[in-house]
Structure 1
Amino acid sequence: MKLDKLFQSLLLTGAVVVLINTPARSEEVGEDAKLSEISQSAELLVQSPASSSEIVQVTGVKANPTDKGVEVILQTAQGEQLQITNRSAENNFIADIPNAQLRLPSGDGFTFRSQKPVEGITEITVTNLDANTIRVTVTGEGELPKVELFDSDEGLIFGAIAAVTAAQQPQTPQAQEKPTTETPQEEPAAQQDEPIELVVTGEQDGYRVQDATTATKTDTPLRDIPQSIQVVPREVLEDRNVRSVAEAVETVSGVVDGADYNGSPAQDFIIRGFEQGGSFRNGYRDVNSYGLTGVGTIDRVEVLKGPASVLFGAVEPGGIINIVTKQPLSEPYYKLELEAGNRDFYQPSIDFSGPLNDDKTLLYRLNLSYQTADGFQDFVNTNLTTVAPTISWKLGDRTDLTLYYEYINFKGTFEQYTSVLSDNTFLPRSFYQGYPDEAYVNNTTQKFGYTVSHEFSDNWQIRNNFSVVTGRNAEEYTLATAVVNDQSLRQFAQDRDFTTDNYFGQIDLLGKFNTGSISHQILIGFDFNSYIQTFARSIASNVPNLDIANPNYDITSFNYGPRSSSTDRSQAYGIYLQDQIMFQDNLKLLIGGRFDWITGDNTNDVTGETTENPENSAFSPRIGLVYQPSKSISLYTSYSQSFVPVTESNPDGEIFEPTRGTQYEVGIKGDFLEGRLSTTLAAYQIAKSNILTDDPNNDDPDYLIQVGEQRSRGIELDVTGEILPGWKAIASYAYTDAEVTEDNDLPVGNRLVSVPKNQASLWTTYEFQNSDLKGLGFGLGLFYVGTRSGDSANSFEIPDYLRTDAAIYYRRDGFKAGINIRNLFDTDYIRTSDDGRTFLRRGAPFTIIGSISWEF
């Protein structure tokens, strides 16, 4: 085989091909083409005018059956510089293609996978090894497959066959050209026992994820982001069988439970010591503390640590949670699942997807689920319903439109808080500290909108999205507000309903260009957010205390007073600019800034009086630098700010500035075990300033000043990936020192509420890869949360806890059955505090859920 002819072929096509031969047609090539004569570390270099610093983008993967098996083609736009390094490890043939990245049209970080394409070959995968390398892996069944090198006008070909004995080995022919994809008439095609199964999935490569969009709103490798960002992929969510977003992020360092809303899937989070209400969806504003988010529609969860206002507007400085949802697939996919557990837990669900027309330009996805369960507290019973259809429409070669709708309803008698007595003992776990006959909730969240993107060229793109999130909450409840002499609970009761309507629109322009030898990826955007909340309630006056030792729940209805009602409105406008600059392959700068304007008003719906809120504006910068001394190590440092508007004002009309968050962060990101394991080690300090506190120079308690400050600093470690074939893990540790540094109400040095100094987690699974046990897996989880302050005054402490989870499952050929256990040893613990002795959220006791599902 002539190498110059090979170079010409690659230069013309820019393609790399993996050809799998069946044993029935296995043939060795001649001396010129035998791969065994090529050094394991040899590199085949294809020359082209492209700069050595340019990353070749592989934009498509094709699988074509041939008379000798199947070929897998990695497509690029044109012939470009490619380097191929091959080696073997156990029963795997591995080919690495440096200076290249897989960028499939359906999203970044996707993996191509072919399961059992021929007898003797168990799997072929094509995936991103790191930010600059594509890896092609051919796995033999029990033995290393034999690999041959072919020449072709279509490109470089790796021909792999199952290992055979010497007696089975055919005579060596002369070097040959790659066969055509059509079966020659004089030579029948090889027969196969089973049809070839080729699947292109949107799932990330196991536990280790290499790309994310939350930090930059662009497809950026994690190692190129000068900020800590952790991704929890779908495989982890499924292995752990999480029931809420709060459970999903338990494996992420520096993130702890900030209390749910009435036991529903509406959640606050504490990130790096600061509370953040609600979450984002696919990179834009979604729900607040009262909005519902189901887990059935989640593909992965991305957690961006530190101030994020530069792209997302008004957010607390600890960070944000971004939910990335499942998208329609181009191939038919059907999943039926049934789950059942203790405390009468039942949940049937379906996940269907596929094309709606022959040319696959119109795709759909439908997620449906219904859940019913009793609580671990007496009287608690709730139902959760989710309906979520999505349509994707390819309007042209460069234009895509996605329409989505999601309906979530949560209703029933919900879980109450628990209380701590004066001797720091807690009420029994099953104790319901309210009046259940006067407690109900019926909350509905609906989400709908669209996203559209158009590529003007390979380097310029415009994106637009619009979303509407509506909430309708109707509820009646009693609430314990104080412990009276350790004997009874003082009660507060109200009947209330409120509606929330959030409208969000955004338009982005993305572009890539060079200034000399320096490359730029620029983002220019504008967004608009309108939020309207109408809140009405009646407060009861005749609510008796609830006896702790001998509770009497049989009471008559309360007498409710007159109904009040008010409407809050706010409008926010933001414009932002970001530039990702690459000076060299290993030196990258991220710089950006955003300016926001926020206005609003409040209307008393009874009197009709409207009060204008103070206008707020803020500039939020971010700058970060990444230096990569090697392909596996990234060193970074960054500075960023955030803001949250302040709607209060002094009686004399004095307008307050927004609260500000300022963070300094340094860290190191590394890939180990040949790229199978990724780590992030970060150190940071965040200061939140302009916090309102009493004015000591004014006797009027309504007068406030902005001198309050809180500070959080700490160290975080996150590790995720595959240690050995079949053995996966995701682990974290966080040390968080969050305290009051200046205040006229609280003592300096007080710890922030519900923030542990030490937090650690480990979730690990092992799945048998071969033998009769293939598909059988086990999981073990350890979750430690240290002691925390129970209130702002630091009057009591919440004990630390260690919870153990476990799982066992079997999956094969689309079938999966599993058992997940949460709190294996029935540890009694407090999850979090809402700042008070009667506002504590209890952790659930021993919980077991069995599941069975079919994918086809």
Structure 2
Amino acid sequence: MGVIKGSRRGRCRTMAPGVLVMAVAMTMNAAVPSSFAQSPMTETRLAQLGAQRNFEIPAQPLSSALVLFGQQSGLQVTVDGSVVRSLSAQAVSGTMTAQQALQRLLAGTGLTYAVSGGTTIAIQSAPRESEGRIELGPITVEGNKESGYGPVSGYKASRSATATKTDTPIIDIPSAVQVVPREVIRDQNATRLLDAVRNVSGVQGGGTSGNRSDGFLLRGFSTTRVAKDGFLSASSFGDVGFIDLVNIERVEVLKGPASVLYGQNNPGGLINLVSRKPQPKAFYGFDGTYGSNDFYRGEIDLNQPLTTDGKLLFRLNAAYQNTDSFRDFFVNAKRAVIAPSLRLALPDTTVDLQLEYYYQRQQFDRGLVAIGKRADLLPRDRYLGERFSRGPSSELRVNAVVDHRFNEAWSWRSSFRAAWGDQDRLSADPQGLRADNRTLNRRAADLRTDIGNYAAQTEVTGKFDTGFLNHQLLVGFDANFTRFRSSLRTASLAPIDIFNPVYGARPGAFGPATTQNRQIDLYGFYLQDLVSIGTQWKLLLGGRFDYAKSKFKRDGQIITDATDKVFSPRVGLVFQPVENLSLYASYTESFLPFVTAVSANGTPFKPEEGRQIEVGIKRDWLDGRLSTTLAVFQLTRRNVLTADPANPGFSIQTGEQRSRGVEVDISGEVMPNWKVFGSITYLDAKITADRTFAVGNQLASVPRWSGSIWTTYAIKGGTFDGLELGGGVFAVGRRKGDLNNSFSVAGYASVDLLVRYRINQNLEASFNVSNLFNANFVEAAVSRTEIYPGTPRSFFGRLSLKL
């Protein structure tokens, strides 16, 4: 919490709720005025004043201007309270050093500054004698450039709370974790989660479950489960709809097993979405977009303090989207999102309340089918369903978080989430090609699904020393209860000629419904300690014990009733020989229970296991403006189900899959106004043990090579002041389409462009082109009858108003 504090009888007035103290070390030498002796570490800290930054500080009272200066520079500022209240600051806008920005803020105020302790800028004025003057002690205006729970300035994130559940510098974390900031999302005009995570190494699209929700491949392993603000989606069955990004501040991807902090999960990694939170300053944003295929989208971002002291804050994010598609006979899709949030900011306690409601209605569509060994023989607009296919869904989420700080070392955080979702699907499902390779068998399916989820977490974090060891301790407990109900009816449906389709078939008589009820209760206790050993070594130790109880019923009959007790360890080591450089190694495990499968003798299966070894290098360059991560890993997925040779139709638990790879990520600012975000991945993901598929087969839809590069350049000053240009390439190599490796999917490269012009301080227009050269590609292949084509060349115009 940012505050202005005076020493007059302990008086305290809240200034900027939600803003934490932070000083980011830079390495650029700068000549700055100082009346204090400087150690080598102090000189490094002072380099922040000489680092080029983009400042946007409107004209306002000096006290609040200094808060923004602290946020945007990463410096802590102190000022004498007897003068700050009566002074104003002029506007500061553009790219400059922190020293230049501070000088402009103080121009004409009669104030100057000095550097104290290497981390604090002290604002000073000449002593004045005044009868009856009240002496105030130093006032601290605490600013934060970034926290792991809040927005990122530019393309480079310095901190994350996903990997450790504490606000930790990314360079101190012995795991690969990448953050896609809001600015990247905005520049690329991303509205789907897949559009954001395609920037991250080791992440690919995993299909949309019939145009219903996003699936992903992380380090070669599929998942439909995404976390939001630390809570996993309602169940392992995924979200009931696409995730909209209108209220997302940053998208974080933690690579590899994450069960030690999040419980049951797929081994490839975890995608965690950080919500946009209410802010101390009022602002109002309105965005309108029109694009190809009659794409309409409107967004609002309204932020308003509700009390004059800034203790109660409100924010509303909402979006409405209506679009047609490049796919034949597509009925326009609609999506609506509304997400109000409320924050109560007290001196030592913060309470956040958030409500989210999603509604979407779109046509059910499993894409194309493979013919022989190829997936590209049909035109990408070919639709193989029927007009009656549809899949409306809705979801309501309620979140509450309480943060309390006992003192500077110890804090407590408790959170609760309730979510309810439903989906109603009527579809024409492909069932396989006949021997003539042109007639596709189909069936009609009527599926109704309801999901309810209740989850709670409570955590205590503390910092303390034992001898020469510095500890950052996390102790937590969570509970998660999921209830999933579905009812499926099927009917006959005429086949379709995939080369000469004739539409209009109607379902036959629907049979009786098959009902399923799944109940999953999870309890977890976890402990983590990030130990600093001197200034160069950090040791991360963590462990979690899970108690999982699951029950699965089909048509009222119990199929499985299992209880699992699992321990998941994590250990990591970081060596930092010089500032801004980390060498790390780690070992982690994950688990995922089987809910619906049993062996031939009725015995429940053991949970699936993931085990990973990873080593890597993290480096910050150019005074901390640019960061790179290199990760090398081996990830093994064990207890995979495979066919039981003695009992056809049943499975045994002897399968194993392995993923090995190298990942490189880069993000930040190469030079003032020139930003870059990119990645490259080499991945060897294959079957290492199985009774159904051949050992050595590649995992489905996993390319050996993939990569992306996105960059923007903003012109400041001169004739083209306010103009910003950007572009990027997203490339994916050749893939196998299924575990049987029966067909292949060609590689591709898609080029995107951005042109943006800031008309004035409040209004800007932008133009995006997606897939500039109209590449014909497959976004994801799930099976021979579920192949999702990529979107052809599209244009989007956007107008943004900020007040």
**Contact residue 34 and residue 116 of structure 2 kept, 8 A:** no
Q: Which of 366, 381, 388 is residue 339 of structure 2 equivalent to?
A: 388
Cα distance change on mapping 1:641 and 1:45 into 2, 3 Å: farther
Aligned residue for 2:25?
none
User: SS at 2:576's partner residue?
Assistant: strand
Query: Which amino acid counterpart does residue 31 of structure 2 have in structure 1?
Result: Q
Aligned residue for 2:396?
446
In structure 2, C-alpha distance between the alignment counterparts of 1:449 and 1:72, rounded to whole Å: 33
Cα distance change on mapping 1:593 and 1:551 into 2, 3 Å: same
Aligned residue for 2:615?
666
Stretch deviating more after TM superposition (378-387 or 755-764): 378-387
In structure 2, C-alpha distance between the alignment counterparts of 1:378 and 1:849, rounded to whole Å: 21
**Contact residue 757 and residue 786 of structure 1 kept, 8 A:** yes
Q: Which of 336, 356, 373 is residue 406 of structure 1 equivalent to?
A: 356
User: SS at 1:267's partner residue?
Assistant: coil
Q: Which of 342, 364, 371 is residue 292 of structure 2 equivalent to?
A: 342
Alpha-carbon displacement from aligned partner over 1:479-527 (angstroms, at most 9, x marks no partner): 2221221222111211111101111111101111111221111000011
Stretch deviating more after TM superposition (237-246 or 596-605): 596-605
Alpha-carbon displacement from aligned partner over 1:149-169 (angstroms, at most 9, x marks no partner): 65799998688xxxxxxxxxx
User: SS at 1:613's partner residue?
Assistant: strand
Alpha-carbon displacement from aligned partner over 1:236-280 (angstroms, at most 9, x marks no partner): 00000102001101110000001123324x211101111121210
In structure 1, C-alpha distance between the alignment counterparts of 2:580 and 2:260, rounded to whole Å: 28
User: SS at 2:791's partner residue?
Assistant: coil
Q: Which has the higher contact order (CA 8 A, sep 6+)?
A: 2
Alpha-carbon displacement from aligned partner over 1:368-397 (angstroms, at most 9, x marks no partner): 211100011112121001111111112x31
Aligned residue for 2:66?
72
**Contact residue 69 and residue 118 of structure 1 kept, 8 A:** no
Aligned residue for 1:40?
31
Aligned residue for 1:5?
none
Q: Which of 159, 180, 185 is residue 211 of structure 1 equivalent to?
A: 159
**Contact residue 804 and residue 824 of structure 1 kept, 8 A:** yes
In structure 1, C-alpha distance between the alignment counterparts of 2:114 and 2:446, rounded to whole Å: 77
Aligned residue for 2:465?
514
In structure 2, C-alpha distance between the alignment counterparts of 1:517 and 1:713, rounded to whole Å: 37
Task: State the shift of 1:123 in Å.
Answer: 5.1
Aligned residue for 2:653?
706
Alpha-carbon displacement from aligned partner over 1:201-235 (angstroms, at most 9, x marks no partner): 95312001100000000010000000000000000
Aligned residue for 2:425?
475
Task: State the shift of 1:285 in Å.
Answer: 1.4
Cα distance change on mapping 1:687 and 1:40 into 2, 3 Å: same
Q: Which of 766, 772, 793 is residue 818 of structure 1 equivalent to?
A: 766
Query: Which amino acid counterpart does residue 689 of structure 1 have in structure 2?
Result: R
**Contact residue 148 and residue 158 of structure 1 kept, 8 A:** no
Aligned residue for 1:504?
455
Alpha-carbon displacement from aligned partner over 1:580-599 (angstroms, at most 9, x marks no partner): 10111221111100011111
Alpha-carbon displacement from aligned partner over 1:795-822 (angstroms, at most 9, x marks no partner): 1110000000011011241211101111
Task: State the shift of 1:639 in Å.
Answer: 0.7
In structure 2, C-alpha distance between the alignment counterparts of 1:563 and 1:181, rounded to whole Å: 88
Aligned residue for 2:520?
570
Q: Which of 553, 563, 574 is residue 615 of structure 1 equivalent to?
A: 563
In structure 2, C-alpha distance between the alignment counterparts of 1:844 and 1:671, rounded to whole Å: 36
User: SS at 1:431's partner residue?
Assistant: coil
In structure 2, C-alpha distance between the alignment counterparts of 1:517 and 1:764, rounded to whole Å: 44
In structure 1, C-alpha distance between the alignment counterparts of 2:121 and 2:506, rounded to whole Å: 81
Aligned residue for 1:190?
none
In structure 2, C-alpha distance between the alignment counterparts of 1:68 and 1:533, rounded to whole Å: 55
Cα distance change on mapping 1:67 and 1:398 into 2, 3 Å: closer
Stretch deviating more after TM superposition (806-815 or 776-785): 806-815
Cα distance change on mapping 1:476 and 1:74 into 2, 3 Å: closer
Aligned residue for 2:200?
252
Query: Which amino acid counterpart does residue 808 of structure 1 have in structure 2?
Result: V
Task: State the shift of 1:692 in Å.
Answer: 1.9
Task: State the shift of 1:138 in Å.
Answer: 2.5
Query: Which amino acid counterpart does residue 715 of structure 1 have in structure 2?
Result: V
Task: State the shift of 1:652 in Å.
Answer: 2.5
Aligned residue for 1:138?
101
Alpha-carbon displacement from aligned partner over 1:674-700 (angstroms, at most 9, x marks no partner): 22110000100011111122344xx22
In structure 2, C-alpha distance between the alignment counterparts of 1:792 and 1:665, rounded to whole Å: 25
Task: State the shift of 1:703 in Å.
Answer: 4.9
Alpha-carbon displacement from aligned partner over 1:166-203 (angstroms, at most 9, x marks no partner): xxxxxxxxxx9537799xxxxxxxxxxxxxxx999953
In structure 1, C-alpha distance between the alignment counterparts of 2:373 and 2:282, rounded to whole Å: 60
Q: Which of 374, 380, 383 is residue 432 of structure 1 equivalent to?
A: 383
Query: Which amino acid counterpart does residue 746 of structure 2 have in structure 1?
Result: P
Cα distance change on mapping 1:417 and 1:218 into 2, 3 Å: same
Task: State the shift of 1:602 in Å.
Answer: 2.2
Aligned residue for 1:786?
733
Cα distance change on mapping 1:273 and 1:44 into 2, 3 Å: farther
In structure 1, C-alpha distance between the alignment counterparts of 2:103 and 2:585, rounded to whole Å: 43
Query: Which amino acid counterpart does residue 296 of structure 1 have in structure 2?
Result: V
Cα distance change on mapping 1:219 and 1:136 into 2, 3 Å: farther
Query: Which amino acid counterpart does residue 672 of structure 2 have in structure 1?
Result: P
Query: Which amino acid counterpart does residue 193 of structure 2 have in structure 1?
Result: V
* Unpaired stretches in structure 1, ≥5 consecutive residues: 1-8, 10-37, 56-60, 77-93, 103-115, 127-134, 160-175, 183-197
Q: Which of 115, 118, 138 is residue 90 of structure 2 equivalent to?
A: 118
Matches within 5 A, 1:618-633: 618-633=566-581
Stretch deviating more after TM superposition (739-748 or 543-552): 543-552
Aligned residue for 2:50?
none
Aligned residue for 1:585?
535
Aligned residue for 1:726?
673
Aligned residue for 2:702?
755
Query: Which amino acid counterpart does residue 726 of structure 1 have in structure 2?
Result: N
Task: State the shift of 1:646 in Å.
Answer: 2.3
Aligned residue for 1:236?
184
Alpha-carbon displacement from aligned partner over 1:628-651 (angstroms, at most 9, x marks no partner): 111121111111111111233323
Cα distance change on mapping 1:384 and 1:66 into 2, 3 Å: closer
**Contact residue 597 and residue 616 of structure 1 kept, 8 A:** yes
Stretch deviating more after TM superposition (578-587 or 409-418): 409-418
Higher CA-based Rg = 1
Task: State the shift of 1:416 in Å.
Answer: 3.6
Task: State the shift of 1:66 in Å.
Answer: 11
In structure 2, C-alpha distance between the alignment counterparts of 1:70 and 1:576, rounded to whole Å: 40
Aligned residue for 1:650?
599
In structure 2, C-alpha distance between the alignment counterparts of 1:254 and 1:774, rounded to whole Å: 37
Aligned residue for 1:375?
325
Cα distance change on mapping 1:304 and 1:70 into 2, 3 Å: closer
Cα distance change on mapping 1:51 and 1:398 into 2, 3 Å: farther
Cα distance change on mapping 1:746 and 1:494 into 2, 3 Å: same
Task: State the shift of 1:284 in Å.
Answer: 1.5
How many residues get paired?
A: 732
User: SS at 1:766's partner residue?
Assistant: strand
In structure 1, C-alpha distance between the alignment counterparts of 2:95 and 2:711, rounded to whole Å: 25
Deviant stretches of 4+, over 6 Å: 50-55, 63-71, 73-76, 94-97, 151-159, 179-182, 198-201
In structure 2, C-alpha distance between the alignment counterparts of 1:278 and 1:236, rounded to whole Å: 23
User: SS at 2:184's partner residue?
Assistant: helix
User: SS at 2:413's partner residue?
Assistant: strand
Task: State the shift of 1:548 in Å.
Answer: 2.3
Does 2:672 match 1:717?
Answer: no
Q: Which of 582, 586, 591 is residue 638 of structure 1 equivalent to?
A: 586
**Contact residue 460 and residue 476 of structure 2 kept, 8 A:** yes
User: SS at 2:206's partner residue?
Assistant: strand
In structure 2, C-alpha distance between the alignment counterparts of 1:466 and 1:555, rounded to whole Å: 47
Does 2:711 match 1:764?
Answer: yes
Aligned residue for 2:347?
397
**Contact residue 481 and residue 522 of structure 2 kept, 8 A:** yes
Query: Which amino acid counterpart does residue 316 of structure 2 have in structure 1?
Result: L
User: SS at 2:185's partner residue?
Assistant: helix
**Contact residue 429 and residue 842 of structure 1 kept, 8 A:** yes
Cα distance change on mapping 1:254 and 1:486 into 2, 3 Å: same
Q: Which of 638, 642, 654 is residue 693 of structure 1 equivalent to?
A: 642
Task: State the shift of 1:74 in Å.
Answer: 10
**Contact residue 694 and residue 701 of structure 1 kept, 8 A:** yes
In structure 2, C-alpha distance between the alignment counterparts of 1:345 and 1:64, rounded to whole Å: 35
Aligned residue for 2:482?
531
